[in-house]
Structure 1
Amino acid sequence: MKVVFIGDIVGNVGRETVKRLLPWLKDRYQPHIVIANGENAAGGRGINAAITRELFEAGVHGITMGNHTWDNREIFEFIDDEPRMIRPANLPPGTPGRGYTVVKAGNKELAIVNLIGRTFLPPSDCPFRKADEILSELRKQHKCILVDFHAEATSEKIAMGWYLDGRASLVLGTHTHVQTNDDRILPEGTAYVTDAGMTGPRDGVLGMERENVIRKFITGMPTRFQVAETKWHLNGVFVDIDEATGRANRVQTIRVDEDSWIPA
């Protein structure tokens, strides 16, 4: 099974980039399933129903979230009824939505799991114990499993990769918006990347207008961040999974920007 994961989609620039590049990605990588992190898709904070439909209509099969899941209150109106969207599974019991699901496309099935880290992020339940709980159930029926670990600290993400080696097909990090150059297959067959990167404005600061971010660093004063309107880039991950074993055959980071992309 071939899977493409699109790194954190930021604002309108990110959404338009996904719509522009998905046909190219599908031609180049021939993915059976496309997953994207959408927690910044609505103006850099959260997601709404219209944008969710927009991403699915563009060809995304499943959406993961993160610490900005609840920034747009409209999500409370539809997250319980949208089985293709997941939020971090280790949020407290009773939280709306679901932390994992099975995405289907044609005759292919991919289980996807969303977790959030605890280092430098708001309090949550232990992601490692929650991963144990979820994977013990999923692995009874599914071999192909993708885990999006939305976390700040690289050490926490690397630890999760090793912890899940042999139990997930792909463990990748999101949240920092900066793609890491450490894609590899771990000894027990799990593909791993510390951070998939972001999709959206290339020349901002993590997708935001750089002038305001710089001003905040210099002055320390509260500053309103706005999604930048610059040239785009798309970051993501491609993985080829052996459906018989769930082990990764190949993993590769994807990095394309407006200056280097050549339309088909």
Structure 2
Amino acid sequence: MPRVLFLGDIVGRPGRTLVRERLQSLREAYAVDLVIANAENSAGGAGITAKIANELKESGVDAITLGDHTWDQKNFESEIDQLVHVCRPANLPVRNPGRTYLIIEKDGFRLGIFTVLGRNYLAMKADECPFKCADRLLDELKSQCDAVFVEAHMEATSEKIAFGWHLDGRAAAVVGTHTHVPTADGRVLPGGTAYLTDAGMCGPYESVLGRDIKEVITTFLDGMKRRFPVAENDVRLCGCLIDVDASNGLATHFERIESR
């Protein structure tokens, strides 16, 4: 039975370093077949570069997803098409470069992967309704793979939860990202879809969502914009493990993980 490891948002150099140091041992300890990671904050806390995407691949990440910071790094729009293991949110405008989904394989098991942006409170605006986009892609992918993993890159917990119920019984998993705070509601829904509102982040937890505490508090106090450097302490790797029944594409087991 294939086992998938999903890693929450990788934040800056601290997050990348921990993934590089710990991922292979985690793969072995948990008998992981495929690894997916959100890496939209991996370059200085905002965006990603081709170099970082390839380094993460070398570290053992099989597929990289992105979110509302997809285009934050200069020239990444000219690099993404060459990165066959990276997909951008599927419901961005069609004219955006990059893949809208990935299919990765292990021992004959084919896993489809895609991300959708939410429509509440995100600065980057989705072009297509995430619910309708997911419906469309699930229909498109069902003849190409054995199961589908869906990432909900959303701010509002209500939107994520509704989205999970909407896909229950059709996707192997619906896992939320973006808020960087791990939630305690992980489970397998009645229809067989593993669900988690937010996987948390791979990054420094002595922080405010991965950023320097003092700078963030100061901005709340005076309302002035300033740079928020990536924090460095209490770095943790957070995510979840999902076992998938290849015969029906649904989850049989869910487990949240956290490692230092």
Query: Partner of 1:69: helix, strand, or coil?
Result: coil
In structure 2, C-alpha distance between the alignment counterparts of 1:82 and 1:222, rounded to whole Å: 34
Instruction: Structure 1 unaligned segments of length 5 or more: list them.
Output: 258-264
Aligned match of 2:174 in 157, 171, 175?
A: 171
Query: Partner of 2:75: helix, strand, or coil?
Result: helix
| 1:139 matches 2:142 | yes
In structure 2, C-alpha distance between the alignment counterparts of 1:247 and 1:128, rounded to whole Å: 19
Q: Is the 8 A contact 1:178 1:206 kept in 2?
A: yes
Aligned match of 1:153 in 149, 152, 156?
A: 156
Question: Could you tell me which residue of structure 2 aligns to residue 92 of structure 1?
Answer: 93
- State the Cα distance separating 1:106 from its structure 2 match: 4.4
In structure 1, C-alpha distance between the alignment counterparts of 2:219 and 2:29, rounded to whole Å: 41
- Structure 1, 173-182 or 229-238: larger mean CA deviation: 229-238
- State the Cα distance separating 1:173 from its structure 2 match: 0.3
In structure 2, C-alpha distance between the alignment counterparts of 1:55 and 1:94, rounded to whole Å: 27
Counterpart code for 1:92:
P
Deviations 1:65-120 (CA, angstroms, capped at 9, x unpaired): 00000000231222112221011100112111121110124433211011100100
Question: Could you tell me which residue of structure 2 aligns to residue 233 of structure 1?
Answer: 236
**Change beyond 3 A, Cα 1:105–1:75:** farther
Question: Could you tell me which residue of structure 1 aligns to residue 188 of structure 2?
Answer: 185
Aligned match of 2:218 in 215, 218, 222?
A: 215
In structure 1, C-alpha distance between the alignment counterparts of 2:53 and 2:106, rounded to whole Å: 17
- Structure 1, 120-129 or 241-250: larger mean CA deviation: 120-129
In structure 2, C-alpha distance between the alignment counterparts of 1:136 and 1:107, rounded to whole Å: 21
- State the Cα distance separating 1:141 from its structure 2 match: 2.9
Q: Is the 8 A contact 2:204 2:210 kept in 1?
A: yes
Normalising by structure 2, report the TM-score: 0.96
| Runs of 4+ with deviation above 6 angstroms | none
Q: Is the 8 A contact 2:41 2:47 kept in 1?
A: yes
Identity %: 48
Question: Could you tell me which residue of structure 1 aligns to residue 258 of structure 2?
Answer: 255
Q: Is the 8 A contact 1:185 1:192 kept in 2?
A: yes
Counterpart code for 1:175:
H
In structure 1, C-alpha distance between the alignment counterparts of 2:21 and 2:140, rounded to whole Å: 37
Question: Could you tell me which residue of structure 2 aligns to residue 242 of structure 1?
Answer: 245
Counterpart code for 2:138:
L
In structure 1, C-alpha distance between the alignment counterparts of 2:103 and 2:144, rounded to whole Å: 11
RMSD of aligned residue pairs (Cα, Å)? 1.0
Q: Is the 8 A contact 1:49 1:74 kept in 2?
A: no
Question: Could you tell me which residue of structure 2 aligns to residue 76 of structure 1?
Answer: 77
- State the Cα distance separating 1:144 from its structure 2 match: 1.3
Q: Is the 8 A contact 1:99 1:115 kept in 2?
A: no
In structure 2, C-alpha distance between the alignment counterparts of 1:113 and 1:233, rounded to whole Å: 25
In structure 1, C-alpha distance between the alignment counterparts of 2:52 and 2:182, rounded to whole Å: 24
Instruction: Structure 2 unaligned segments of length 5 or more: list them.
Output: none
Q: Is the 8 A contact 2:110 2:146 kept in 1?
A: no
- State the Cα distance separating 1:223 from its structure 2 match: 1.6
- State the Cα distance separating 1:25 from its structure 2 match: 1.0
Aligned match of 1:198 in 187, 201, 224?
A: 201
Q: Is the 8 A contact 1:117 1:156 kept in 2?
A: yes
- State the Cα distance separating 1:139 from its structure 2 match: 1.1
- State the Cα distance separating 1:23 from its structure 2 match: 1.9
Question: Could you tell me which residue of structure 2 aligns to residue 48 of structure 1?
Answer: 49
- State the Cα distance separating 1:20 from its structure 2 match: 1.1
In structure 2, C-alpha distance between the alignment counterparts of 1:96 and 1:105, rounded to whole Å: 27
Deviations 1:187-244 (CA, angstroms, capped at 9, x unpaired): 1100000001000112011100110001011111112111012131111010000001
- Structure 1, 10-19 or 216-225: larger mean CA deviation: 216-225
Counterpart code for 2:43:
A
Counterpart code for 1:10:
V
